[in-house]
Amino acid sequence: MVFIITRLNESCETVAKNNSDLYRVVVKIGTNVLTQGGKKIVYEKMRDIVRQISVLQREGYEVLLVTSGAITEGESLLAKFKNNQFSSESGSVASKQVLAAVGQVPLMRGWEQAFNQLDILSAQALITRRDVSDRLSYLHARNTLLKLLELNIVPIINENDVVAIDEIAEVNIGDNDHLSALISNLVDADLLVILSDVSGLYQSDPRINEEALLISKVESVDDYILSIAGSAGERGRGGMASKVSAAKIATESGTDVLITNGNSEDCVLSSVSNEKKGTFFPAQSSRIESRRRYLLSNVVIKGRLTVDNGAENALRKGSSILPVGVVGCDGFFQRGDVVDIHSISGTRIGVGITNYSTDELGRIKGIQSSEILRTLGYEYGEEIIHRNNMTMI
């Protein structure tokens, strides 16, 4: 556990990367920043964020924007039309989904108009956690976002709240923080900037303790850091728990993260400068290839393969999983699903994308790869899991 303490308004100098290496940036802006603490979107704030993104574009950066605010904007719009039937405070998932559906239109219109004023083309992408848990959807989303960046179009990404039941109920995701980490993995981002209504992670609650010290740099997110951030349900530290959790996901996949005050002047521009204000989380590894990023961030495991000792030793040397080394499989999965890999002793040793389903594996486990075609009447390759689609734990 290593972290550096600074006082409020003191800047954090980054040493993780030279700015010449910084190229692709994901900017996440939360509801509290967009509303400036109020009950409706402050469109002047939108325009200010877009102005800063335009500067980054001119300097050669690729920028993706992850935005919240649809539910809040939906509430504001319904109140304007004197329809108070729905409220996000009711706790009803259906109510929140209605509000999100109503609010998404003006939210995206606001961003579109702000970008259009600066002659920048933008595009909407509504993505759920499940979209990046399914291999085919993952690849489609990745290819689309990268093509938009290639065309100098700014992707504006939001959770698809109309269908994202778990996320909108705040079971596993907080105000798009987790989504921004998954998007960073998806596009191989160099930096994730999370704009908050506080200046970063503090040793104690800055809203209660005016002398609270800002942690300017966190070398790694461990249990102590998570305890400082608070539980998922706490709001006393600006929803910091979900932000730190997102930082952990992103940094473990090779993306630097900065949690900074979205209400400070030029908050986006300063995030890529030599002096960063906020809490900086350096990447824990070099950027890895897209499918391995996917495996690190994925949480939907469909089943389990068990391999023998010989296969385990080969895997640790960088080999693929062949049918001859598979001694068992559990769960129900299809080709392209993500499965855990266990040793014969029951220890989880890795995770990967399977080329064969549960039923197919039941027929070909233990045989030579040359026998797959004769046994099944077809084949998807000689490997059960290719080494490029696998990561060891």
Check: CB of residue 53 under 8 Å from CB of residue 27: yes
Listed in sequence order, the residues at least 6 apart from 312 whose beta carbon sits closer than 8 Å to its beta carbon are 343, 344, 349
Who's near 239: CB < 8 A, 6+ residues apart? 30, 32, 174, 175, 177, 196
Beta-bridge partners for 217: 4, 280
Name the percent of the chain lying above pLDDT 90.
53
Contact 212, 203 (CB under 8 A): yes
DSSP structure string for 70-118: HHHHHHHHHHHTT--S--GGG--HHHHHHHHHHHHHHHHHHHHHHHHTT
Q: Are 22 and 191 in contact (CB under 8 A)?
A: yes
Q: Are 53 and 29 in contact (CB under 8 A)?
A: no
For 4-49, write each residue's pLDDT tens digit. Answer: 544 344 444 333 334 556 799 999 999 999 999 888 899 999 999 9
Residue spans of the domains in the chain: they are 3-293, 301-392
**Higher pLDDT pick, 306 / 163:** 306
Q: Which architecture characterizes domain 3-293 according to CATH?
A: 3-Layer(aba) Sandwich (3.40)
Give, in degrees to the nearest 5, the angle at Cα 138 between 136 and 360.
35
CA–centroid distance for 52 within its chain: 22
Superfamily of domain 301-392, CATH level 4: PUA domain (2.30.130.10)
Task: Give the global pTM.
Answer: 0.71
Q: Which two tokens stand for residue 135?
A: 């291999």
According to the model, what pLDDT value does residue 340 have?
94
Across the chain, mean pLDDT equals 84
pLDDT tens-digit series, residues 156-174: 999 887 776 555 555 444 5
Alpha-carbon gap, residue 279 to 9, rounded angstroms? 11
In this predicted structure, the answer to whether residue 369 has a pLDDT above a threshold of 70 is yes
- Reported as a single tens digit per residue, the pLDDT across 214-273 is 999 999 999 889 888 875 434 333 488 999 999 999 998 889 999 999 999 999 999 998
Q: At 130, give phi and psi (nearest 5°).
A: -65, -30
Question: Does residue 341 carry a pLDDT above 80?
Answer: yes
